[in-house]
Structure 1
Amino acid sequence: MKKMILVLMLILTANLFGSTAIDWGYPFDIQGHRGARGLKPENSMVAFEEALEIGVTTIELDLAVTADRVVVVYHDTTLIPTRVRKDGTFISEPILIKDLTYEELVQYDIGSIKSADVWPRQLQLEGIRIPTLNEVLLLVKEHNEKSENEVFLNIEIKASPLAPDDTVPLEEFVDLVIETVREASMEGWVSIQSFFWTALRKIRDIAPEIPTVALVSSSNLIDSAWTDGLSMIRFGFDIARMASEIGARILSPADTFVSQSLIERARAYGLQ
C-alpha cells in the first residue's frame, strides 16, 4: 500500500502514535486511544465497548505481563497511584505488574482517577478491573462476526531496554503476546507496535504474518538500545530506512517528526 494512512484523532484519543497495518480502503483510520480514554476508564473493557459503540476502526491498547504469565492490558509497567485503588483507597506507591499474579491484580480498581479534571468527560466508575488481552481479542472477534464494519487492534508492547527488570524478559513477553493472539485466531486483525524495536524484530522472526509498527519519539532515537542497536548516524538520520531494516511495516512517528520528506522516504521503503 503506497498511501499513508492518516489517523483521525477523535475526542476519545490523546497522544496517538499508532496506525493500523490494514488497508481499509478509507482515507482515515479512527483509533480509540486506550479504548476510549476520554469517555471511560482507560484500557478497560467498558472503554473498549464504548469504542466499538461509537464506531472506531481500530482500538489501541497497551500490554503488560503478570507474575503468572498472563498478558494483561495496562499502559504502564507499574500500577499508577493516581489511577488505581484498592479497597476504595488510591494506592500510595507504584507496584510492578510483573510482581503480581493475575488473581492479585484483579483486586485493584482502575475505574477512577485522582484528578478527575484531567479527563473531565471520563466517567468515574466503581469496580473496574484490568482485563486480559484474550478478553479484548474475543470482544473484538465477536463484534466482527456480527458487524459489517470490522474493527482492528493496534497493541503496544510496553517494555524498556533501560529498565529490563521492570517486565518479564522481552523474548518471553513477545512469545506470550503472539501465543495469545494466535490462540484467539486474531492474527489478521492485529498490529503490534513498540518504541523498543528489538520486540518488533522478534515478532518479524516468529510471526511475520503480524504487521509491526515502529514507534518513534525523540527519546528512543537518542539511544540505540531502543532501536535494536541501529544508530541514527550510521543510517544517515534516515528514520524510514531504520524502520525498514528491522522489518517494520508501519512507521509511526511523533507529530514533531512528520514532514513531507519523511513521508516520501517511508513510501520509498514500502512503509505505511
Structure 2
Amino acid sequence: MLIYGHRGARGEAPENTLASFDKALQAGVTRVELDLHLSADHQLMVIHDPTLQRTTGIRGKVARHTAEQLTRLDARLGLSGWEQPCPIPTLEQLFQAFPQFEHYQLEVKSGSRAQAGPVLEAIMQLVDRYQLQDKVVITSASRHLLRHARDTRCPLPTGLVEEHGILDPVKSALRYQCRFLALSWKLCTPARIAQAQRHGLHVSVWTVNDPGLMLKLRDMGVDSLITDVPQLAVTVLDS
C-alpha cells in the first residue's frame, strides 16, 4: 500500500509549507497530497483554506492577494510551536524544491464554474514545464472542475474527493471519467473498495493517522492512504 503525506506532513510541520513536504521526504515518503487555490494573478498557491486567517493570522481571502503578496506571509500557525517562518509556497516552488517526489495528488479547492478552466490551465502549464505528466493527478470535490476536465479532455488524470457519500462515489467518479477515488476513511468498506477497483479506480483514503486504522485499511486492500504522520505510517506498515 502506498503512502501519501497529507499537506506534506501536517502532523509534524506547518501544513502545505516547504518544511512540511521536507518532513514527509525525511520519513521516506515520496508521494504527497496538497491543496491549491488561485491567487489574484492566477498563480497556483499551496494552501487549504480559501481564507488566510487559520494558518497566517491575517484576515482576507487568498484570491484577493497576488502570489508575491502571499509568498511573503508566514503560514506556520498551522502547527503551534514551530520556530521558523514558513511562507505560503507556490506550486512551482514546490516542484522546484522537491524533484525527488514520485507523485502528487493536487487537490483543487478553487473549483467553481468560473475558476475551473483557469485553474486546470495553470496546472497543465506547470506540469508541462516540469515534465511531470506521469507524476500528477488532479483531484477535487468540485463537480464543476471534474466536468470541465472531462468535457475538455484534460490530458492529466483526475480524481473525485468524496467525504459524505450521499451519492454512490464509485458511480460519480466514473461519470467524470476519473482514475482516482479519494475517499474519507469513514466511507470505506471492503465491498466499496472492491467495486471501485473492478472499475479501474485507484482508491486513496484520507486522513489516516491511527495505526490500527492503517492496518485495517491495508487489509481491506486500499491502494494508498493519506496521512498527517508519514513517519508513523512508514513504521506501522513496514513492521
Which bin holds the TM-score, normalised by the shorter protein?
0.7 to 0.9
Match of 1:73 in 2: 46
Superposed CA deviations along residues 25-68 of structure 1, whole A, max 9, x for unmatched, are xxx11111111111111111111122112111311111111111
Answer whether contact 1:109 1:126 (CA < 8 A) is retained: no
Displacement of 1:138 in angstroms is 2.2
Note if 1:258 corresponds to 2:230. Answer: no
Q: Aligned to 1:30, what secondary structure does the other structure show?
A: strand
| 1:250/1:271 contact within 8 Å kept | yes
Query: Secondary structure in 2 aligned to 1:78?
Result: coil
Partner Cα distance (1:47, 1:207) in 2: 33
Q: Is the 8 A contact 2:40 2:62 kept in 1?
A: yes
Matched residues in 1 for 2:191 and 2:50: separation? 35
Match of 2:33 among 41, 50, 60: 60
Alpha-carbon distance in 1 for matches of 2:10, 2:172 = 31
Q: Which runs of 4+ in 1 moved over 3 A?
A: 204-209
Q: CA deviation at 1:132?
A: 0.8
Of the three residues 84, 103, 116, the one matched with 1:126 is 84
User: Which residue is 2:62 aligned to?
Assistant: 97
Code of the aligned partner of 1:158: K
Give the TM-score of the pair, scaled to structure 1: 0.68
Q: Alignment RMSD, CA only?
A: 2.1
Unaligned 5+ segments in structure 1 are 1-27, 85-89, 117-122, 144-149, 223-231, 233-237
**1:200: how far off?**
2.3
> Which secondary structure state, in structure 2, belongs to the residue aligned with residue 83 of structure 1?
helix
Tell me the alpha carbon deviations over residues 94-124 of structure 1, each in whole angstroms, 9 at most, x when there is no partner.
x1111101122123111234x83xxxxxx51
Q: Say which structure, 1 or 2, has more relative contact order (CA 8 Å, 6+ apart).
A: 2
Give the % identical residues.
Answer: 29
Specify the alignment match of 1:16 in structure 2. Answer: none
Number of matched pairs = 202
Match of residue 249, structure 1, among 179, 202, 211: 179
- CA deviation profile, 1:57-89 (whole Å, cap 9, x unmatched): 311111111111111100111112x421xxxxx
1:186 aligns with: 132
Largest Rg, 1 or 2:
1
Gaps of 5+ in 2: 203-239
1:55 partner letter:
G
Question: Structure 2: which amino acid aligns with 1:155?
Answer: L
Q: TM-score, normalised by structure 2?
A: 0.76
Matched ranges for 1:9-158 at <5 A: 28-80=1-53, 82-84=54-56, 90-91=57-58, 93=59, 95-113=60-78, 116=80, 124-141=82-99, 143=100, 151-158=102-109
Higher helix share: 2
CA contact (8 A) 2:8 2:24 kept: yes
Distance 1:106 1:270, change over 3 A: closer
Matched, 1:171 2:136: no
Amino acid at match of 1:135: Q
